Amino acid sequence: MLKSHTLVPESEFKEIIYELRPVLDPSGKAVGGLYNAWITLNNPKQYNSYTTDAVKEVILAFRQASMDRSVVCCVFTAVGDKAFCTGGNTKEYAEYYSGNPQEYKQYMRLFNDMIDSILRCDKPVVNRVNGMRLAGGQEIGMACDFSIAVDTARFGQAGPSTGRRRTVARRTSCRYTSASLGPWRAAFCARCGALTRLYSSVW
């Protein structure tokens, strides 16, 4: 009997969608007992910006996928074709955090935990980019192992244009990605066709 190593029971997600999709073999047939965990931001009306509650759920979702022995890969994506993620929810910023600046440190603690949950996931994480990936969305996307994007995807970072220096992505995500994948491994994946198969499996 295998032990459970989960910290909390399986969560009920309201701000995001968590689903298991069967792994397909090269012929397109489902492989029994193996799944890809699809973690989907579900706020298309606000360009999939994340609220505080959504950040909590993303952390729990990656933890759940990481501990699930039947999951072999995570696909991180979003509902709709306008945006993968445009960062933090500005409505929540205006209505709550702007009037409670002392709370922002707690929010950033959660944001850093979300980055860590992606970086430390035991399964490869593919960012399926369906539109804009901006600001905090760019940072969580950079924490993934691979990014697969549509031709109309747009990438950007809001910090430099406003004179701010965002360090989370630079200090952790960039360094981790280059260390974990690297140019030689990336070239190998491209030459052996792994990226082509990866693209066809998430679109």
Q: Is the pLDDT of residue 3 over 80?
A: yes
> Where do the domains of the chain lie, and which CATH numbers do they carry?
16-202 (3.90.226.10)
Residue 183 amino acid letter: P
pLDDT for the residue numbered 200: 57
pLDDT for the residue numbered 82: 94
pLDDT for the residue numbered 102: 87
What distance in Å separates the CA atoms of residue 140 and residue 154, rounded to the nearest whole number?
15
Angle at 146 between CA 46 and CA 160, to 5 degrees: 55
Q: Does residue 49 contact residue 100 with C-beta atoms inside 8 Å? A: no
Q: What is the pLDDT of residues 29-54, one digit of tens each?
A: 999 999 999 999 999 999 999 999 99
Q: What is the pLDDT of residues 46-83, one digit of tens each?
A: 999 999 999 999 999 999 999 999 999 999 999 999 99
Q: Is the pLDDT of residue 169 over 50?
A: no
Mean pLDDT of 124-143: 93
Q: Is the pLDDT of residue 203 over 60?
A: no
The pTM for the full model equals 0.81
Least confident of 13-22, 40-49, 84-93, 157-166: 157-166
pLDDT for the residue numbered 175: 39
Q: Is the pLDDT of residue 168 over 70?
A: no
pLDDT for the residue numbered 170: 42
pLDDT confidence of 194, banded at 50, 70, 90? low
